Structure 1
Amino acid sequence: MHRVEHDLLGDKEVPADAYWGVHTARARENFPITGTAISAYPHLIEALASVKEAAAHANADLGLLEPDVADAIRRACREIREGALHDQFVVDVIQGGAGTSTNMNANEVIANRALELLGLEKGDYARVHPNEHVNLGQSTNDAYPTAVNVATIIAVRELAEAMIVLEQAFAAKAVEFHDLLKMGRTQLQDAVPMTLGQEFGTYAVMLGEDRLRLTEAVTLLHEINLGATAIGTGLNAAPGYAEAAVAHLREITGLPVVSAADLIEATQDCGAFVHLSGVLKRIAVKLSKSCNDLRLLSSGPRAGLNEINLPPVQAGSSIMPGKINPVIPEVVNQVAFEVIGNDVAVTMAAEAGQLQLNAFEPLILHSLSESITHLRSACLVLAERCVSGITANAGVMRGYVENSIGLVTALNPSIGYAAATEIAKEALETGRGVAELVVEKGLLPAEELAKLLKPETLARLS
């Protein structure tokens, strides 16, 4: 069964039970790009509904919508915000037209649900029209970017919460491994002693620092251009509409959004997205570095560093019995690579804007959403499936310290640089231990040497 709808290109059949209409139908034909519909981005759908609900409130306040129509639109929007009809948001996330297809998909779904609430048939747009009523006072160019901002703010909040979980997991291991002595390494060469707790503590600190940068970056997205309409001049929006719509959006979302000081600038500028993407890349880079370390420290177990054990979560090979791979750090590495690539996409999409509008925000939305949601999942998986189950091989680490040439650096203040150099050279040539040679040559009494080689002394523990 079908119904016939009309647009500027003519008549077109639409499935009778569909809440979307002719504009959405054409977009489905025009943009078979990713195979991923915008319904895969629930934050965006809920944000779009919030924007449309705020607009309906504002237009009702100004007497531009009949009370029953405004109420039906608001009710439809609330249902969508609560999870209903998400399957009706069917246009591809990557689309031409600066997000117009997404905006029209939302307008049509809301209009048809509002018609149902009024006891009318889908497609009977004389009473509630997608453009005339649901989109009243709006343009894609302010409704869509505002929804992207709101959706991104909410998604970032969830990422920050996941980062806290991972940060706490690393911090707990830092406490557990507080006094386990090991060799620190620079350029993959022995450096000076430290503790495994200090090593894990740095991972927690890095996450905390990045979380603060993320909070700072997302603050910029609270400035929105709702009410700007096509290019920022507010053409076709009634006096007082922008202020009312922003106020209602604040109330609906609970977010402290504010109208941009210059709506023309805000309609064309994607700088806040570029900044946020850069912070996401920073998080990805440092998270990947931490995973590289976990893979190195757990390498072996017989022919690698073998200082820590990652929890075994699956068999590692179809041909090598008994092999266990660091699959959790590996998957996080791959998420990081994806985020770095997405940052390039966001950069190019922002740069490609021309004159009064950036037509490429659909790609910005897609890239940022992937980066944020995948980083969130990566943090939780790393915390729960890897970090929380890591154990230490204290004997292996202590053996590296006692046999390392790097140990001589800790004795340098007591025996002098020249003597330390000779000890290091002889230890390297003979394979003997630094401590053994120092005592043998009478450079330090055994009792004093033992004090100097205590974990709290070597690692400068307080």
Structure 2
Amino acid sequence: MDITTAQLSGKTREEHDLIGYMQVPEEYYFGVQTMRGMENFHISRVRLSFFPEIIKALADVKEAAALANRDLGLLDKKTADAIVEACRMVRDGKFDDQFVVDMVQGGAGTSTNMNANEVIANIALELMGHKKGEYKYCHPNNHVNLSQSTNDAYPTAMKIALIRSIAKLEDSLKQLVEAFRAKGVEFADVIKMGRTQLQDAVPMTLGQEFEAYAANLSEEMERLEQNYKLFYEMNMGATAIGTGINADPDYPAICEKYLREITGLPMVVASNMIEATNDTGAFVMNSSALKRLAVKLSKICNDLRLLSSGPRCGLNEINLPPRQPGSSIMPGKVNPVIPEVVNQVAFRVIGNDLTVTMAAEAGQLELNVMEPIIIHCLFESIEMLANAMNTLREKCVTGITANKEVCRNMVYNSIGLVTALNPYLGYETSTMLAKEALNSGKGIYDLVLEHKLMSKEELDNILRPENMVKPRKFLRK
């Protein structure tokens, strides 16, 4: 049932909380506290349901908690079993539309936690043969949230969800790396001019340039994996501030065991629960890794736009696949729209990293209440980066072609060609040739022959592409 389009019967059930009473539509599995969150927070307009991994992770945490409470004798078997089954139904995606609160919220994630508690409680009630809202049989706080606080359940669930989301991001990154690597092989024999400071430098191949992009991005897979391992540390059992009030001393270890089984992840209880409850360092580190990836992607897209610039009045060394008409007034113009959109995604991710940094710094005493904006920024960055990399690969990189003759002619017309002759002619002679070439407009190749500095055979051998794009031995006279 999509609550935005559902045809409601008009029947309601009355629920109450600290603030007072509310009428909740009978069809809704969430309750009064979720309704408060919906009323209060119209901020990003992005609901929890936009990120299914969050819902799955909340279900994981609630299931592990119920099993731990059952083992400790704190929750009777019938209620525990119903909660566990409800969590599994939630994890299967059957109730995604019931997770309706805004990602950005006050209360350090309380609205998110209560949205999960209420939905799971009402599903469990129906499984036990009761009606929604008959909380004396299964209560969102007394049963589903038993031995927990938002301050341990919320960050633990978010960490689990982020681990899974980053793993999917890595898959998109891996495919993009492979696409660049394939182009590196395809363009291996395309000689071109390398540039530094946007000036002619020395020859290279277009394949080397694209292989460098692949190597540049492949480093980020290791960095992402290294950083998300920080999320394995959790604070389940910390409850409100890390002291473990209202939790059995054996609860954290049992909860850890079940979370490992449910998620397949090596989750571990933090050694210092107070520190783990107020520290957001793992989020900062992961945001930094996302920013680093974004910066690299943006730089590469800048290069693609430069290399394809023109076609008549730019570098025109490569052709990007044409994706749409480029102008409403200039006929025939085609813009590099795919690299452009990736640039913009990168800017957003960089901005999100600053937000995460400021939110982490704003934490006070035993809790950082700014975690919802941290979580929102991280999930948004991951989502946008994955989509951007898939788009870049599918709609741009795989279709890039080389203008081989343009690349080759630029090499032979470039002043930078003289660098390849420097070991043979010496710096002074090479400088003289470069200066004369600039003043006369002649090419280095022609000037060497004109001044009889080398035979054509010698010159052609030195300037063979394979001799200019890698180190080689020199015999000194």
The TM-score, its normalising length taken from structure 1, stands at: 0.99
Q: Is the 8 A contact 1:34 1:92 kept in 2?
A: yes
Matches within 5 A, 1:260-275: 260-275=270-285
1:193-220 CA deviation, whole Å, 9 max, x = no partner?
0000000011000111111111111111
Question: 421, 436, 441: which is aligned to 2:431?
Answer: 421
1:45 matched to 2:55? The reply is: yes
- The structural deviation recorded for 1:317 is 1.5
Write the distance in 2 (CA, Å) between the matches of 1:450 and 1:382. Answer: 39
The residue number in structure 2 matching 1:335 is: 345
1:252-283 CA deviation, whole Å, 9 max, x = no partner?
11111111111110000001111111111110
Write the distance in 2 (CA, Å) between the matches of 1:106 and 1:232. Answer: 22
1:278-326 CA deviation, whole Å, 9 max, x = no partner?
1111100011000000000000001100000001112211221211111
Question: 222, 233, 249: which is aligned to 1:239?
Answer: 249
1:17-53 CA deviation, whole Å, 9 max, x = no partner?
1101011111111111121111111111110010000
The residue number in structure 2 matching 1:216 is: 226
The one-letter code of the counterpart of 1:305 is L
Percent of residue pairs bearing the same amino acid type = 62
The one-letter code of the counterpart of 1:18 is Y
The residue number in structure 1 matching 2:289 is: 279
1:347 matched to 2:327? The reply is: no
> Which 10-residue stretch deviates more, 27-36 or 257-266?
27-36
Matches within 5 A, 1:45-444: 45-444=55-454
1:151-170 CA deviation, whole Å, 9 max, x = no partner?
10000000011000000000
Write the distance in 2 (CA, Å) between the matches of 1:176 and 1:34. Answer: 44
The residue number in structure 1 matching 2:4 is: none
The residue number in structure 2 matching 1:8 is: 18
The one-letter code of the counterpart of 1:205 is A
Write the distance in 2 (CA, Å) between the matches of 1:373 and 1:388. Answer: 22
1:264 is paired with a residue whose SS is helix
Write the distance in 2 (CA, Å) between the matches of 1:149 and 1:372. Answer: 13
1:399-430 CA deviation, whole Å, 9 max, x = no partner?
00000000001101101111111110111111
Unpaired segments ≥5 residues, structure 1: none
Write the distance in 2 (CA, Å) between the matches of 1:27 and 1:272. Answer: 27
1:43-80 CA deviation, whole Å, 9 max, x = no partner?
11110010000001111111111111111101110011
Write the distance in 2 (CA, Å) between the matches of 1:460 and 1:444. Answer: 22
2:24 is paired with a residue whose SS is strand
2:13 is paired with a residue whose SS is strand
Write the distance in 2 (CA, Å) between the matches of 1:354 and 1:327. Answer: 43
Write the distance in 1 (CA, Å) between the matches of 2:348 and 2:254. Answer: 40
Write the distance in 2 (CA, Å) between the matches of 1:103 and 1:424. Answer: 70
Write the distance in 1 (CA, Å) between the matches of 2:299 and 2:249. Answer: 53
Matches within 5 A, 1:25-40: 25-40=35-50
1:339-367 CA deviation, whole Å, 9 max, x = no partner?
00000000011000000000011001100
Write the distance in 2 (CA, Å) between the matches of 1:126 and 1:21. Answer: 14
The one-letter code of the counterpart of 2:167 is R
Write the distance in 1 (CA, Å) between the matches of 2:356 and 2:188. Answer: 41
Unpaired segments ≥5 residues, structure 2: 1-10, 473-477
1:165 is paired with a residue whose SS is helix
The residue number in structure 2 matching 1:446 is: 456
The one-letter code of the counterpart of 2:44 is T
The TM-score, its normalising length taken from structure 2, stands at: 0.96
Give the number of equivalent residue pairs: 462
Write the distance in 2 (CA, Å) between the matches of 1:17 and 1:439. Answer: 88
1:443 is paired with a residue whose SS is coil
Write the distance in 2 (CA, Å) between the matches of 1:330 and 1:82. Answer: 37
- The structural deviation recorded for 1:239 is 2.5
1:383-407 CA deviation, whole Å, 9 max, x = no partner?
1110001000010000000000000
1:406 is paired with a residue whose SS is helix
2:415 is paired with a residue whose SS is coil
After superposing on structure 2, the runs of 4+ consecutive aligned residues of structure 1 that deviate more than 6 Å are none
Write the distance in 1 (CA, Å) between the matches of 2:46 and 2:423. Answer: 64
Write the distance in 2 (CA, Å) between the matches of 1:193 and 1:366. Answer: 46
Write the distance in 2 (CA, Å) between the matches of 1:380 and 1:12. Answer: 45
The residue number in structure 1 matching 2:5 is: none
The residue number in structure 1 matching 2:28 is: 18
Write the distance in 2 (CA, Å) between the matches of 1:373 and 1:260. Answer: 28
Write the distance in 2 (CA, Å) between the matches of 1:84 and 1:433. Answer: 70
- The structural deviation recorded for 1:461 is 7.3
Q: Is the 8 A contact 1:224 1:258 kept in 2?
A: yes
Write the distance in 1 (CA, Å) between the matches of 2:351 and 2:203. Answer: 37
